[in-house]
Amino acid sequence: MSYTKRRTPQRRRVGPKRRRKRRGLGLFIMILIVTSLVASIIIISLSIP
């Protein structure tokens, strides 16, 4: 994990556009995870009663 962290600044220097795209992708993944968690909670709450 530390290796990738060290590699990120170089990539940023090469192209800020690429970094922005990666950031957007991470945000999209985060939203997906949150939505899946919410959906699972709703399903659990519906299945309990």
pLDDT in tens, 1-49: 555 555 555 555 555 565 555 667 788 889 999 999 999 999 999 998 7
Spatial distance between the Cα atoms of 31 and 23, rounded to a whole number of angstroms: 12
**Model pLDDT, residue 36:** 95
* Domain ranges, ordered by start, for the chain: 2-47
- How far apart CA 26 and CA 29 sit, in angstroms, is 5
Distance CA 34, CA 40 (A): 10
The CB density around residue 11, as the number of other CB atoms within 10 Å, is: 13
Phi/psi class of residue 12: alpha, beta or left (left: φ > 0; alpha: ψ in -120 to 50)?
alpha
